[in-house]
Structure 1
Amino acid sequence: MDLFSLKGKRALVTGGTHGLGMAMAEGLAVAGAELIITGTTPTKMDDALSYYKRKGFKAYGYLFDVTNEKVAKENISKITKEIGEIHILVNNAGIIKRELAITMPVEDFRRVIEVDLVGPFIMSQLVAKQMIDRKEGKIINICSMMSELGRNSVSAYAAAKGGLKMLTQNLATEWAKYNIQVNGIGPGYFATSQTEPIRVDGHPFNEFIINRTPAARWGNPEDLAGAAVFLASKASDFVNGQVIYVDGGILATIGKPSNED
């Protein structure tokens, strides 16, 4: 199991104050990593740090917007001085704006691209500089099934996540020679506070997801922990430029008729 141990490693998780980011951060911490969490909301940060510390994890929090290059650079420098070098970067911070493409304001489209694609580029570039010097590092980009598929009303999100998939492959290509592995995780549909209103019995979308997913259920946040630990550990030292889809099998199938068992 030493292959999967993260003892002595520091993992920076953007947007690790709630939801899937918190679930992945917890998985990394259980494997032994020291956590550095970023966010933009003070109350969420306070609650997250309290949670991590109750669990017995060593965790630090920094409030900044990953799309602001100057501020991000200042904070990476501050983190390195105050805590130490970053061994693992999880680019999880992201937003979605659901709007039909024909009516979506251009500023909303730009904001989604900034957070979901430009932010990971900024953070990867900053952290990779110390990884290159050290000749070791792991970068995990949180992609999506929308890196592969389109869906109504998420054109900006799908464009950003499709771009993030290709950014993952290109960074892996450039930085592999420095012993840096850049991979992605593509979550399927997960049971979170955001999806709670549509996960009730009888809701059309709930029925659609259960019927569309071979596993016949929504993912639980902790289902992402294993993939995160694998991609952050020595077990994945020869895995590079890949996206692991944790989706219960959705992308493996065309689906089934609604009346089929």
Structure 2
Amino acid sequence: MSPSIRNLGSFVREQRNVANLTQSELAKMVGISEETLSAIERNKRPISRSVLTPLFTALGVEPEKIQAMTGLHAGVPVPAQVTPNPQELSALEAIATPACYQDIHTYRIVAANAAARVALPGLAPGTSLVEWLMTDPRSRRVVGDWEKAAHGFVYSLKVLALGAMEPEISGPIIETCRRAPEWERMWNTRPVDPRPFDTLIHIHPETGVEREMYITSFAVQFPRSGWWLWMLSPVRESDSAPAG
């Protein structure tokens, strides 16, 4: 039997609505029945790997984003201990740009490197990126496109993470974020561009220099799994220059 991914129904439904497709139209494009698609959108049926790629392709999801979005729902093992060991901390501190370890199941930061402690003040172990964005005033000073970034993280929490998070994990994050005056609006609306975003504008808190940064996340494999390595890296001028 083909391996399957669960709890992506909310994301599928949201993206279908963004694409202005009916269930019947999308089902025909993918080659499945309307009843199957309906069950997927209600999280009553997992998405088989054989259906996943054509379904997301029909929805306009870039191929390189599929694995990242489905990783939340793949049942990654929990680390044997809740804090990074010396080897893992050494690897994190060796990264020159802002980086942190993020617990796959709780979204919470478990460690941040020196660059992150300077560039992202307040993003400390025990908090989550979305909580930091929504409730720490310092995030608004160092994220130049704060509205876009915050709305994107809230949207991701709502349509992607909730299906993979237990209520006792997601509940405290949501309650903390409710303190932000923008929370209800962001929670109840889609971003202007609801696709996962790749970059944000970072303003260095000490120099005031503004720079576009890539957002990248890796699944940690060795010595232990169960965390993401989340990091920012500068967008080079050559990355956006037209090919010639």
Shared topology, TM-score over 0.5? no
- TM-score for the superposition, normalised by structure 2: 0.30
Calculate the TM-score normalised by the size of structure 1.
Answer: 0.29
